[in-house]
Amino acid sequence: MRIGILTGGGDCPGLNAVIRGATRAAEVTYDSTVIGFRNAWRGVMDNDYEILDVDRCRGILPLGGTILGTSRDQPFAQEDGLKRVRKAYDRHGLDAIIGIGGEGSMGVVNRLHEHGFPVIGVPKTIDNDISLTEMTFGFQTAVQICTDAIDRLHTTAESHHRVLVVEVMGRHVGHIAVWSGLAGGAAIILTPEEAFDIDEVCERIVHRHKKGRFATIVVVAEGAVPKEGTMEIPAPEVDKYGHQILGGIGSILAREIQGRTGIESRMTALGHIQRGGSPVAFDRVLGTRFGVAAVEAAIDGAWGQMVALQQGRIERVPVAEAISHLKMVEPELLRLNSMFQPRIPGDEHPGLPGDAPVEPRRDTLASMVTDHHIPDVPVEH
């Protein structure tokens, strides 16, 4: 069998583990050949490729990024894209192509399947937002990077008695924010799943500091949004692929917190450091398992399927179903998050039913803060 493989979309720790796992399974176990296309579907259409074998994949397991390169180019964005993909299948005698990527890349795999191409999907994203798989490789590495950063920020926040806002990736879901925030002991975690009230955020911070805590870590997902009418944020720009360009909520949030509470606040955006570097052990193993499973799906002719982690096992699921909706943060984790945030009068205990009696809310933020005129907050260097 001759199998093509490519990596699409943003890079992610663990991609090379998938390539290595697929190549070894194909060559050693199934006597097959793997053709690696460079820079995703651009390589398929431009005939930019290399033959992959066990020797080529030696030493790549701990490497971040992808040895094949990546791009967001795809055949449906070009007039003759499908014709060029068909030509690649014919030129190389391909029996299948394994597409490794996130939500957008899985959409391409699904559309190619609908057009009759033999394709298999492998879910990849640090955001962990693809449905029907419990975890995507790269996510645990990103969480560990963010947790390490939060651990370091605790000490500087405590030294300067500051509020430190940490902006993390995740696009329209808050998996990275919740996991790293809980692991790093953040006081407040803000996610896209639940719009936040800036007045409530500030009140929780003030109550916390009144109790003698002089430093607060706030973790905010890049896609978090305020409740309508509570705080103005600019509409995100859109890139040439139609994706919203997220980021910047951390700076706005730090400025608002300082202006409303009088507590010195700074912002740190972790940015692309979350996507770089060596993958943690979990992502290396999951990537390897996905690579092997993708080859076996191709051997079985399971076209239009995506490999997925379910209850600790690698299963196959229809790509069409996996991309039908984003996987949001589980309500149980959001509830856990609320249990660890600073309490304020009037809070409903997260472990009590909705009709349980609660203490009336007496204090207001305005009565607790004297200085509302604080200059703009500089970005942390």
pLDDT of residue 380: 44
Handedness of CA 28, 29, 32, 33 (dihedral sign): negative
pLDDT of residue 351: 55
Complete DSSP assignment for 163-180: EEEEEE--TT--HHHHHH
Provide the 10 A C-beta neighbour count for residue 27. Answer: 18
Residue 272: CB partners within 8 Å, gap ≥ 6? none
pLDDT of residue 213: 75
Burial class (CB in 10 A: 0-12, 13-18, 19+), 354: exposed
- Measured between alpha carbons, how far is 170 from 220 in angstroms, rounded to an integer? 10
Residue 293: CB partners within 8 Å, gap ≥ 6? 307, 314, 316
Q: For the chain, how far is it from start to end, CA to CA, in angstroms?
A: 53
Place of tokens 């583990």: 17
Closest CA to 35 of 113, 97, 106: 97
pLDDT of residue 128: 97
pLDDT of residue 285: 98
127 as an active site residue: the answer is yes
| Averaged pLDDT, groups of 10, the chain, 381 residues long | 96 97 98 98 97 98 97 94 97 98 95 98 97 97 98 94 96 97 97 96 94 90 93 81 83 96 96 95 98 98 98 98 96 93 82 46 45 40 40
Local structure of 212: helix, strand or coil: coil
Determine which one of 73, 127, 129, 283 is catalytic.
127
Q: Which two tokens stand for residue 125?
A: 């994203």
Is the pTM of the predicted complex or chain greater than 0.85? yes
Closest CA to 41 of 9, 2, 79, 3: 9
CA 187 to chain centre: 21
Q: Which helix (DSSP H) or strand (DSSP E) does residue 42 occupy?
A: helix 41-46
Local structure of 283: helix, strand or coil: helix
